[in-house]
Amino acid sequence: MSPTPVGTLDLPYLVISDDRNERLTAGLDAAKSSWIARGDIGYSILRYDDVVAVLRDKRWHSAVPLVIEMAADVTPEFKMRRRESILSAEGDTHVRLRRLVAPAFSPRRADQLRPFMRDVMNGLVDAVAASGRADVAADICEPYPIPIICELLGAPKEDWELFSRWATDVLRVFDNNFKEDMPLIAAAQDELDAYTRRLIADRRSKPRDDLLTDLIASEESGERLTTEELVMLVEAVIVGGTDTTRNQLGLAVDLLIDHPDKWKQLADDPSTAAKFVEETMRVNGAVRGTGRVASCDIEYRGVLFPAGTIVFPLLAAANRDGSVFAEPNTFDPVGRATDQPQLTFGSGIHYCLGAALARAELQEALPLLARRMPNLRRGGEPRYKIATAGIFGPTSLPVEFDPT
């Protein structure tokens, strides 16, 4: 039997809502009757097995380049300056990059940074502990990842401010406000490029025990990373590793505020931190979906997706799939038993390169916060990014706690 073209299927329609919960609820509703739904610019994939199947199928390519291609107000000059990133590379180019860089992003490298992560987090909590009040999003989550990325790369402390500004401006690429942001993004990329080239030159002459030295070493043994690729990777680490981590931490705390017994459990038994991280990411993930484009005609489950079709694997909906996670809407960090991973780090060849680092950052931050912010409660209304943001999370999370 020949496959049915996706365009002719009778499918539920997913409205893109600005409400942060409605989108997920709509996806979960649609998932009761169908594994796929139609939207304005593509199709959403709703269930765990299908999300994993699409992400593991190399014929589906990353939709990251489309973010800029499809955005209004982007000048041809700006499109031209984009270099290929590991986030969007496919095929042999991507395989080669992953093979070369994966060892540098190992759990061992991430574990080495754990004492540093605790120092950074303790410093941030010190500033608010005596007052018993904080905006967790602004005071804790926002500043947390930059020093860690700098330490990982081997950039000195006096440059943290610079990195923070470049990260903010480079990340504007996801804000869809190119008319105003293009000059800022371009300037930040240029400054970061120049800085990274100096850092690479420095490490070439004086190798150290850091990620950049590791990446340069992989360049120098047999197959190599070019300087261009090294510069691209530093930008990918900043783009991929700052806003994700800070928003994921914010969402985890936001969820835990409403579970005071679990907050206390985490403070009393920090050895449960890894389970808390996985379950908060499952229930309240910062990356709720990603995009793929069919690189050729693809047949899947008797459906034909013509080349160029866009699909959105909805990670957040897959994370609530009841056929994989029993009682999927219950938040149960310690009791949950499953051998299936939560999907907020993605799956397949683009699976998050920084997952070990992000896990370590969250595993260190959460129990420390639980211990140093006892009896955590809301100190005002939280505010969030728009629901369609590629990386979602709170922009303001006012809390009160017993001063320590």
The footprint of ligand HEM (CB under 6 A) covers 62, 86-87, 98, 236-237, 240-241, 244-245, 248, 286-287, 290, 344-346, 350, 352-354, 357-358
CB of 238 to ligand HEM, least distance (A): 8
How many other C-beta atoms can be found within 10 angstroms of the C-beta atom of residue 99? 11
Distance CA 105, CA 103 (A): 5
CB of 388 to ligand HEM, least distance (A): 16
Would you say 168 or 374 has its CB closer to ligand HEM? Answer: 168
CB of 256 to ligand HEM, least distance (A): 15
Specify burial of residue 395 (Cβ count, 10 A radius: 0-12, 13-18, 19+): middle
Would you say 182 or 370 has its CB closer to ligand HEM? Answer: 370
Closest CA to 269 of 259, 257, 258, 261: 261
Would you say 182 or 238 has its CB closer to ligand HEM? Answer: 238
CB of 13 to ligand HEM, least distance (A): 24
Distance CA 142, CA 115 (A): 19
Would you say 266 or 352 has its CB closer to ligand HEM? Answer: 352
CB of 236 to ligand HEM, least distance (A): 4
CB of 77 to ligand HEM, least distance (A): 26
How many other C-beta atoms can be found within 10 angstroms of the C-beta atom of residue 208? 11
Q: Which residues are within 8 A (CB) of 45 and not within 5 positions of it... i.e. 6 or more apart?
A: 35, 36, 51, 54, 311, 312, 313, 314, 318
Distance CA 293, CA 69 (A): 13
> Dihedral angle at the C-alpha atoms of 292, 71, 149, 356, nearest 10 degrees?
-10
Measured in degrees and rounded to the nearest 5, phi and psi for residue 336 equal: -70, 130
CB of 194 to ligand HEM, least distance (A): 21
CB of 119 to ligand HEM, least distance (A): 18
Residue nearest to ligand HEM (CB): 354
Can you read off the two tokens belonging to residue 68?
């800029």
CB of 346 to ligand HEM, least distance (A): 3
Measured in degrees and rounded to the nearest 5, phi and psi for residue 105 equal: -100, 30
Would you say 182 or 317 has its CB closer to ligand HEM? Answer: 317
Q: Which residues are within 8 A (CB) of 286 and not within 5 positions of it... i.e. 6 or more apart?
A: 244, 247, 248, 250, 251, 344, 391, 392, 393
Specify burial of residue 30 (Cβ count, 10 A radius: 0-12, 13-18, 19+): buried
How many other C-beta atoms can be found within 10 angstroms of the C-beta atom of residue 337? 7
